[in-house]
Amino acid sequence: MYIREYNHFVSDAKGKVIGGIHPYHEVLFVLVGELNLHWLGSVFKAKAPALFIFPPSSPHQIVQVSPFLECWFVELRPQDKDYVPGIDNLNTWNVAQSQNPLSLNENEDLCATLGSIQRAIVDDLPKKQGDTFLHIMMCDIQKLLLQVNYYAQKQRCPQELLSAEALPDKWSAQSYIYDQIRYMEDNYMQGITLDDLAKRSGYTPSYIIRLFKEMTTLTPLQYLFELRMDAATSYLQSTPMSVQEIAETVGFPNIHYFSRMFKKKFGESPTEWKRTHVL
């Protein structure tokens, strides 16, 4: 995890506007006061204590409503093995924070993690004490993101309360990658990109590639290509569909690109392949 900036700030300027857009995830915690959060085209009213997490390149602004406001924030970029919640869970969590302040009774573990991060930021421990405290803060942030994802998932799917025994498998990276594999198998005809998979899973593109190779020996785009080729040969062998129709059906932008990639894989054009494989 790379932390670009962290800061603790106070303001006695009611109506003050803070925020903007940047290519980093941001964790924002409201310690004291009230604010209006402008995010994703909506306005959310929030009262301390409240925790918000914004994905990268996500415009957001806070407008101070109370006479006094105290907050801290962290801007970070996940690395290969770091986990961040997907956009659906972030949206669920942020909306819930605007409706109900954090409860120590209901979120005791999460509040304890927030307390540890807060001490590091307010006392500026990473700069004063060195890399060890910076790494501790990174670990706490990763823990916080996992906790947020857990509680957000419970809010979205309350019938799927996770038992302690189920957590290791549920939270394993391979489990998430398997979900992406199934998604690709169900939607191979769509315009799936590596960025799409990253947004769905919460992992960085480079880490997704590594896990895909471990599980399938292929990169995600190679796996998608194989799915499309398998579907194409099936259509060629068992239907009267034209090459043009098959190309469009399995997700290729045009017949020329489809035919070129098909010949590169099989050594013959789709029409030639059908002639030699269909009795």
Beta strands 17-20 and 60-64, pairing class: antiparallel
Which amino acid is residue 178, in one-letter code? Y
Can you give the pTM of this predicted structure? Answer: 0.58
- The larger pLDDT score, comparing residue 214 to residue 221, is at 221
Match 């942030």 to its residue by tokens. Answer: 141
Say if residue 190's pLDDT is above 60: yes
Q: For residue 172, what pLDDT band results from cuts at 50, 70 and 90? A: low
pLDDT at 34: 92
17: left (phi over 0), alpha (psi -120 to 50) or beta: beta
Beta strands 60-64 and 34-39, pairing class: antiparallel
The fraction of the chain above a pLDDT of 70, given in percent, is: 92
Distance of CA 251 to the CA centre of its chain: 24
Q: In 10 A of CB 245, how many CB atoms?
A: 13
Coil, strand or helix at 251: coil
Say if residue 162's pLDDT is above 50: no
Residues of the chain with CATH 2.60.120.10: 2-164
Class of 172-279 per CATH?
A: mainly alpha
pLDDT digits (tens, 9 = 90+) for 255-268: 999 999 999 999 99
Say if residue 170's pLDDT is above 70: no
- The larger pLDDT score, comparing residue 127 to residue 250, is at 250
Coil, strand or helix at 1: coil
pLDDT digits (tens, 9 = 90+) for 73-110: 999 988 877 788 888 888 888 888 888 777 767 778 89
Q: What is the CATH number of domain 2-164?
A: 2.60.120.10
- Average pLDDT of the residues of the chain: 84
Which of 217, 236, 233 has its CA nearest to residue 265?
A: 233
Residues of the chain with CATH 1.10.10.60: 172-279
The fraction of the chain above a pLDDT of 90, given in percent, is: 34
